[in-house]
Structure 1
Amino acid sequence: MVNDYVYILGETDKSLYRPGETVKFRFVALTRRNILPFPESATWPSYQGVGEYWSEKTVVRLEPEVQKRRADASYFDLIDIKDPLGNTVQQWRDVKTLEALNLSYSLISDAAEGRWVIVTRVGEEMEKIYFHVRHDILPPFQAQVAVQKEIKPVDVNVTFSVCASYSNGQAISGIYDAQLCICSQRKLRRQQDSKKLIPKNKCKSNHESFTRQCMLFNGVIDRTPCFNITTNITKLIGGKPPSANDKLGVFVEVSEEASGLSIVVSKMAELKKWPKPKLEIKMPSSFRPGFPVFGNPLMRAILNSFFHHIVCLRAGCMRSNLCYLKPQFPFLIDGGSSVDGWCSASIS
């Protein structure tokens, strides 16, 4: 008994075509006759299992003509090409195996955009392969962007390079717009797939818990096909360390002046784990009752910069907190207000 007597494989020479181009494709049907490692007489079981794969199959006896068809060299009963609306635009019948290895179809100049399908049948078996048609005009130039693979907390400056040239290596005449962003890897992947700049120059962190503003760069491309851009990313970090799945993304749109055509290229860089911010308070370790005490709290962030967050000072001899929207500030504790002659201070 046998379930499937043939396996159909098919492919096109590429996945995307423009109207007017020729679609080249091929099919091959594999049966026991094709894949036997040594010559022997072709035989085929007299029974077949019929039914869906999730249910119990029914055993059916094959008719003599069906057995003969399966024992003979396989051929394709039907090959159809259908447009995105399901209309059959080309059809072949009774295609021999060798003929199916080299088939083609020329798209008309106003071929419909969308997903096309090529359907083939061998007996009861069917196979489909897909390709897309788009009217996009490919730019006559190419562009690349490169950035270091890994960014460490000590790396205050980041350099990325942009190259834009024609096929002969000559620099294009045009402009570029670049974005430097830190956000979740998932968000960056989706944006890379869209081949567009990040909208509104904002990018969300992992789990969308924090939104960062991207850094923007722009300029003119002329004479030199490649150039470097170096920038300080302290402002981009913004005093908030990146999360585990955050990456640095570089997106560059290069536009040719003569045609107005543009390309968006992008790269990602790993961000090494950032250290946690440190809280410090500088004040004398002891003091005498009745004398004022001066101190200075510090809230240090990464790269020896400071957090601009609200810092609150609580002193054991004061009735209320002192809160400041500054990374550091001097404070004064009036020792005369202490009840027991001692006073302690802390920050949060």
Structure 2
Amino acid sequence: MFQDPSGNRIAQWRDVTPQQGIVDLSLPLSAEPALGTYAIEAQGTRHSFSMEEYVLPKFEVTLELPPVVTVLDKILLLRVCGRYTYGKPVLGKVQASLCREEQPVYHGYHLHAKRTGALCTELTGQTDSNGCFSREVGTAPFNLTQSGYRMSLQAKASLVEEGTGVELNATKSCDIVSEIATVTFEDADNTYRAGIPYTGKMLLKAAGGSALKNEKLQLFVSYGDVRQNQTFLTDESGRASFELDTSGWTGRVTLRGHFKQVDRSSVFGRVSPSYLDAHRNLEPFYSKSQSFLKIRWLGGVLPCDQAQQLQVDYIIAREVLGNESRSLDFIFLVVAKGAIARILHKGLDLREGAGLKGSFSVELPFGADLAPAATVLGYTVLPNGEMAADSARLHVAKCFPNKQQPPKPQPFNQWGLVPE
């Protein structure tokens, strides 16, 4: 039975047979149903719901905070803005609060430091001509390094429209973190080929995710009893590229990317800042003859209408070639969309005097058939039956198959005619 807000029975179902213990019924409502509380009753069980008119607010309030605040930050920016539904800024009075709440104290756990409730700052002001109120807030009142409080800041704001007194509210929170910056490895393999340069990048990011440029990073390389250290400078994107000589590497090699050292001493009740290092353990790539092939990584998204040069490093053991081998063939298969899209060939002259360690390039034409990603598999089969191989993943920009390069302008002679 279905009743409207006036108690009138507006629908009833009789002799309903459940399907697997479930009854699915529906009742279309009119375009303008009566507002109020409706009731549904079945087998002595009664349920009600409310029908109300929704009025779209004529303006909205947004509250902005930084994505995170570190324990070393001295100030943060709080911003409150009001906008009408048609985009015009709202003029009015803003009241805001920013608080760090107490951490709940569980049974049997007490801090020695006495706490006096939430740590708060109150702000008031008027929106400007853009409908916004901005204020730099000092973090000292929140004792960001003091434990016993939540590792987050809670903000509340209200905007009272000038002239009408209409008030709307907004809330926002941001985390407090102790990790000031983080180093990570990019484009760095988990294996190395002894004798072929090992390449990669270190990326330095602040707690909020922004890249840190023009900062010094240290790279520590350890294997056996050997310890090496190099210093690099990050570029505009927060990255530092490195190329390491692997000719003396043996066994497991450990890489550590380091930014800053912090005081390891801890104080009870205090949160200490930290800088997270990058770690990578490298295992040697196996080859019976110590013959290797390495395709250098092509970074970023590659244009689909422009050929690229694949740089390839190689080491071929002399003893596997024998005395009769004068050349060696390298094959590169380009796989995209589950099929082989390109087959490239490179011949290497091994006549007397030619090195068995070096590098060469292979031109790889790109097209829409390779977008959005392709894999290059390069290999060579040595005379003893052993194969040296490597693969690389390529990311290709999307484009239309009919995109063509503009024709090259034809040269004209002194009479304005195209020469034959």
The alignment's TM-score, normalised by the length of structure 2, stands at 0.34
Q: If each structure's helix is expressed as a fraction of its own residues, which one has the higher value? A: 1
Compare relative contact order (CA 8 Å, sep 6+) and give the higher one, 1 or 2.
1
TM-score by length of 1: 0.40
